[in-house]
Each structure stands twice: as C-alpha cells, then as structure tokens.
Amino acid sequence: MVLVSGEGLQLLLRWFHFLAGITWIGMLYYFNFVQTPFFATAEPQVRSGMIVGSLVGRALWWFRWGAMFTFITGWLIVLHVMFAQYAGVREFFASSYGWKIFFGGMLGSLMWFNVWFVIWPAQQVIIASATQVAKGGQAIAEAAARGQRAGFASRTNVLLSIPMLFFMGAAKHLTMPEPTGRGAKIGALVLLVVVLAAAEINAMVGTTGAGKKMLSTLTGTFWGGFILTAICFFGLTILLH
C-alpha cells in the first residue's frame, strides 16, 4: 500500500505539516491583521473582556500548538528527505533543493522559537495582569513592556513568514544553481545566520529605531518581508553559483 511506503510517509507528514502550518500562520495573521488593529481602537473594557473571557487564550492555544506541530512535522520531513532520498547530510546539502528547504525551515524555526519563548510567555503575563485588574487588583508592572516585546516578535514573525513561505514553495518549483563547492555552502550558511540574527536582534533589543518603525505598520512589515525574500533569494543564487 502507498501509505505504508516511504512515499506514503512523506505524504502523511506533508499533509499534517500543511494542516498545522495553515492553522499557525492563519492565527499569526489574525493577531496582526485583525486583533491588534481592533485592540488599538477598542474601549479598555472590550479588550479586557476578550482577554479575561478566554477568547484570546483560546486563539493563543491554537496559535502555539499549530506552531509546535508545524515545527515537528517540518523537521521530520527534512530528515526523511535527507536520509531516504539523498542518502545523507552531505548529499542533501549538495543540492539546491536542500538549501532552499533548509532556508525555509530555519526561518520557520526562528518563528517557532518566538512563539514559544517570547510571545507566549509575554501573553501569559498580560492575561494574568488583565485578570487581576478585572477582579479589582493591580496590573502587573511588567505587562506593558512584555506586551510591546511580544508585539515586535509577532510582527517579526509576519515579516519572516514571507520569505519562509517563498522558500517552501520554491523548493521544488524554482530552479536554482547547485552548490559548486565548500565555499559556496559556507557563504550560504553565513547569509542565513546574518538574516536570522538581524531579524531577532531587531525584535529583542531596544524599542525605537528604523527596524521598529518598519514593524510598527503592516505596510512596513510587508515591504520588509518582500525585501528580505529578495535578499535571501538573490544572495543564495549568487553564493551557490
């Protein structure tokens, strides 16, 4: 039967990866395109009701577990391809397919990290603070700062989702040069590390500056994402040639 073969395993992994990924990215876009703009203009009691009333908590549950299952199934796919189709790590990274899917996977992994270790912990503080206030208590002092940091991380994830989705789609549907040597591979790895580090440092350090201004609007975030996609694509193409 097809479903018990290696091809069937790949199909099942991809299917669950797509389902989880659509859930995760859908919730990411909901938070940034719908909830955040609404909260910016809503009355405080309305925002509090949505937070304390568990609507936000339920959305965050789907958000973080969608991210987790996307992360797990994504790397299982990469490992399966690496050892079942390319017969090892060296052969995998000797192909342009390997580099394209690796770029997409690492961008997605940084997004997953932000969900579980930046956004979700901050949201727990925000929910606890709103709950205390609703019961007549005092707001948690660090809630506002944690919320701002979570906002930067969330917008960073929107930015990263654009090149991430590009590379996932391009892996088998866009021709790129095959790596020509060790130097090309090192160069590609350096490019990836620089992109990931720049995006994360911008999200986690400081509260003002050009990078924060870009993330402050959806238009700026979109443009940043498209520019980052171009940098990654043309940079990888040049380095692998």
User: One digit per residue, pLDDT tens: the chain, 241 residues?
Assistant: 444 457 888 899 999 999 999 999 999 999 999 999 999 898 988 888 898 888 999 999 999 999 999 999 999 999 999 998 888 999 999 999 999 999 999 999 999 999 999 999 999 999 999 999 988 899 999 999 999 999 999 999 999 999 999 999 998 888 888 888 889 899 999 999 999 999 999 999 999 999 999 999 999 999 999 999 999 999 999 988 7
Q: Which two tokens stand for residue 74?
A: 């994504």
- CA–CA separation, 90 vs 74, rounded Å? 19
Q: Identify the DSSP state of 10.
A: H
Structural domain including 169 reads 2-240
* Residues 73, 17 contacting (CB under 8 angstroms): yes
Q: Which two tokens stand for residue 13?
A: 């992994």
Q: Identify the DSSP state of 179.
A: P
The domain total for the chain is 1
What type of residue sits at position 54? S
